[in-house]
Amino acid sequence: MTSSSTLRERFAASLMPNYGVPPVVLTLGRGCEVYDADGRQYLDLIAGIAVSSLGHGHPAMVKAVAHQAATLAHTSNLFVHEREVELAERLVGLLGGDAKVFFANSGTEANEAALKLVKRAAGPGRHYFVAASHGFHGRTSGSLALTGKDSIREPFGPFGMDVRFVPHGDLDALRDAVDESCVAVFTEPTQGEAGVVPAPEGYLAGVREICDATGAAFVLDEIQSGIGRTGAWFAHQSEDVRPDVLTLAKGLGGGLPIGACVGFGDYADAFHKGDHGSTFGGNPVACAAALAVIDTIENEGLLAHTAVMGDLLAEQLDGIDHPLLAGQRGSGLWRALELSGPHAAHVQEQAAVRGFLVNAVAPDAVRIAPPLVITPEQIGVFIEALPTILDAAEAAATKEQQ
């Protein structure tokens, strides 16, 4: 047996089956390349689901994490420490305006904090929420209640809260759904887990207008899109729109678990003492990692790099003529290959066979979200291999149907 197969057997024997057994066993990462337990090299084009912003083993991350772990690894929320304050100040500076931050450990926890925050701030008579069909906000109960994917939501209801779903990007439907009884609108600038599906241009400005007219809070989930993924610090800055509450995670920690809920204006101070908390939220090591991510994005010009690499990736994908590839969508280094049929799983499998890690995020969509440090040469290697990957995926799909 190979080292990979042995570890997969141990995984199956000791971990719950909610993930199945992943097909690739990773043991080492360097930049945009990772290696499995048998020494095989892959180009990482998914970055831990848009998390590993700086790739693997970046010197700035290694230095920051090692220094902080050796200095002060944990304090809980009973004490103040410098890294947490510094990171909150940096985020407020990047966002501008009157804002305050609550730190959590993940995206779903950031959304749970947002949910409690807007409930706390809501006036009398507000009792329901509006979210987008096919949206994804997390798997804990509150976040799952707001998640518009029936397959993962319905087995765990009821949720004890009234959530009304409207089509993503449909401002007319949203306008009809939101009135003075609505607590908040939760939405994403682009639906990541639905297959990197952008909203129409002007959508966020329209959400802002509807919330202003009704007094509902505008909560924007930038857990995947934030911290440079689209070529801007935050996707909403491209539309010059400010939400009332912003949630972040994934790329913020560059690989370490951290989430953030940011409140603006009146929402910055809506929590009362004791309303919410987290033992590990704002952990010194996680905050040090996030500061290293922000510093490196600034120092290495990775926002501009991400925009240029994203355009290059899109241009080269558009140049591929293959019956299985219907197109591409997304922004920056957050893209989906649009397939002409439900063959994403085969594309993911055949890409891995050829040394590329991608994600079958939907039956007909393959997510590409590499580290922000990816090079033109690495993009070129993938583009050169993609027609062969698509040929193999098409053949596998045909064989399966026979």
Residues with catalytic function:
136, 221, 250
Query: Counting beta carbons within 10 angstroms of the beta carbon of residue 316, is it exposed (0 to 12), middle (13 to 18) or buried (19 or more)?
Result: middle
Q: How far apart are CA 379 and CA 398, in angstroms?
A: 28
Q: Judge whether 152 is annotated as a binding position.
A: no
Q: Judge whether 329 is annotated as a binding position.
A: no
Token representation of residue 333: 């280094």
Structural Rg of the chain based on CA atoms? 21
Name the E strands within 213-324.
217-221, 245-248, 259-264
Q: Judge whether 222 is annotated as a binding position.
A: yes
Q: Judge whether 382 is annotated as a binding position.
A: no
Which of 308, 314, 310 has the alpha carbon at shortest distance from 338?
A: 314
Q: Judge whether 227 is annotated as a binding position.
A: no
Q: Judge whether 374 is annotated as a binding position.
A: no
Which of 29, 84, 47 has the alpha carbon at shortest distance from 224?
A: 47
Token representation of residue 80: 């103040």
Tell how strand 365-368 and strand 359-362 pair up: antiparallel
Q: Judge whether 108 is annotated as a binding position.
A: yes
The one-letter amino acid code at 236 reads H
Q: How far apart are CA 245 and CA 187, in angstroms?
A: 11
Which of 245, 238, 240, 271 has the alpha carbon at shortest distance from 259?
A: 245
Q: Judge whether 224 is annotated as a binding position.
A: yes
Q: How far apart are CA 270 and CA 264, in angstroms?
A: 10
Q: Judge whether 340 is annotated as a binding position.
A: no
With tokens 């690495």, the residue in question is: 378
Q: Judge whether 244 is annotated as a binding position.
A: no
Q: How far apart are CA 190 and CA 200, in angstroms?
A: 9
Token representation of residue 274: 């004791």
Q: How far is CA 32 from CA 17, 224, 262, 322, 372, in A?
A: 29, 18, 30, 26, 9
CB 293 within 8 A of CB 64: no
Q: Which residues are annotated as a binding site?
A: 107-108, 136, 139, 221-224, 278-279
Q: Which residues are annotated as a binding site for pyridoxal 5'-phosphate?
A: 107-108, 136, 221-224, 279
Q: Which residues are annotated as a binding site for N(2)-acetyl-L-ornithine?
A: 139, 278
